[in-house]
């Protein structure tokens, strides 16, 4: 069995951060060690929430506690997502380095959540800078959306070709794999939901239906990053992991749309997460 230390947000109601990623990763047979950066009543895109940011010291203390029982070497990957404060970024990178000192084969997937003011996703001051200046260089895999692709690459990214260039820039800065979770308006077809995957061997593009909602569900990126790393740890190739992730997420979105719900219907779609109905294929970009 593979083990993932997942350092993300936690919401008591609904699905975002670890609530969106943990159960799907467990469904794929991965043991998840959830370490929460914040504990909120609900995700921030409701516009109001209660709860607290976890003190940054807790991250290191928890990791050292796992090491004290001689278990940290079992960790096969660290995932970081929504970060509650700028100070937490350095603590997370210290945790990644510590895990890798105990298991040199461990991977670090950085889901660089930077916030999206238009959608109401709020991230603390300094987090974006920490992700760009510190986390990106440490990451083996990084999973930006369009906003984050621009910030990480420093490029404007207003069309598909610029998106490809931005991915190349990120690959030159440390990560070995880049998964663009959503190309949004710079994709080939704005009526579709499009993703990119890049590694040292090339780039692949996948397109699936773009589901329409009154309010866009939150936590899709967290689900995407979690499924991708879990698939890789389970021995799938990059392309197999990419396709399974895209198809499983599409099925979750379909069920969520059918139930007319603002929150991702992860439990209702649990069988599709393991065995997706959708069968969209990745196409290599020449």
- Residue 9 annotated as binding? yes
Alpha carbons 191 and 72: distance in angstroms, whole number: 45
CA nearest neighbour of 107 among 239, 227, 229, 237: 229
Alpha carbons 11 and 95: distance in angstroms, whole number: 22
pTM of the model: 0.96
pLDDT at position 120, please?
57
Alpha carbons 83 and 35: distance in angstroms, whole number: 11
Q: Which of 18-22, 96-100, 112-116, 267-271 has the lowest mean pLDDT?
A: 112-116
- Residue 44 annotated as binding? yes
Number of other residues whose CB lies within 10 A of the CB of residue 2: 19
CA nearest neighbour of 2 among 231, 206, 177, 221: 231
pLDDT, tens only, 131-177: 999 999 999 999 999 999 999 999 999 999 999 999 999 999 999 99
The average pLDDT across 73-93 equals: 96
- Residue 111 annotated as binding? yes
3-state SS string for 69-114: CCCHHHCCEEEECCCCCHHHHHHHHHHHHHHHHHCCCCEEEECCCC
- Residue 181 annotated as binding? yes
Structural domains for the chain? 2-284 (3.40.1190.20)
- Residue 129 annotated as binding? no
Cite the DSSP H helix spans in the chain: 18-27, 57-68, 86-102, 127-130, 136-138, 146-153, 160-171, 220-233, 238-258, 270-274
Alpha carbons 240 and 6: distance in angstroms, whole number: 22
DSSP-based three-state secondary structure for 61: helix
Cβ atoms of 56 and 87 within 8 Å: the answer is yes
pLDDT, tens only, 244-264: 999 999 999 999 999 999 999
pLDDT, tens only, 184-236: 999 999 899 999 999 999 999 999 999 999 999 999 999 999 999 999 999 99
Q: Does residue 117 surpass a pLDDT of 70?
A: no
Return phi, psi of residue 258, to 5°: -60, -35
DSSP-based three-state secondary structure for 222: helix
Write out the two tokens for 88.
């937490």
pLDDT at position 124, please?
81
């Amino acid at each position: 069995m593979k083990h993932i230390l997942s350092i993300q947000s936690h919401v008591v109601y609904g699905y975002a951060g670890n609530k969106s990623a943990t159960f799907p990763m467990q469904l794929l047979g991965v043991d998840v060690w959830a370490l929460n950066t914040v504990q909120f009543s609900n995700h921030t895109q409701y516009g109001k929430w209660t709860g607290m940011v976890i003190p940054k010291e807790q991250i290191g203390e928890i990791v050292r506690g796992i090491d004290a029982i001689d278990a940290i070497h079992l960790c096969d990957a660290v995932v970081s997502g929504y970060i509650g404060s700028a100070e937490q970024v350095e603590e997370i990178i210290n945790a990644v380095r510590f895990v890798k000192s105990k298991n040199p084969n461990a991977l670090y997937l950085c889901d660089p959540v930077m916030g999206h003011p238009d959608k109401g996703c709020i991230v603390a001051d300094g987090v974006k800078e920490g992700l760009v200046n510190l986390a990106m260089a440490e990451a083996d895999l990084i999973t930006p959306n369009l906003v984050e692709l621009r910030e990480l690459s420093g490029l404007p990214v207003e069309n598909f070709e610029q998106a490809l260039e931005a991915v190349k820039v990120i690959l030159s800065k440390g990560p070995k794999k880049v998964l663009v979770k959503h190309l949004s308006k710079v994709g080939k077809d704005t009526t579709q939901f499009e993703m990119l995957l890049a590694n040292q061997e090339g780039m692949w593009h996948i397109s699936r239906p773009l589901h329409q909602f009154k309010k866009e569900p939150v936590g899709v990126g967290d689900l995407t990053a979690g499924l991708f790393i879990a698939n890789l740890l389970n021995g799938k190739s990059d392309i197999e992991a990419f396709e399974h992730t895209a198809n499983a997420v599409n099925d979750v979105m379909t069920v969520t749309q059918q139930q007319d719900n603002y929150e991702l219907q992860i439990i209702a779609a649990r069988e599709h997460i393991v065995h997706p109905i959708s069968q969209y294929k990745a196409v290599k970009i020449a």
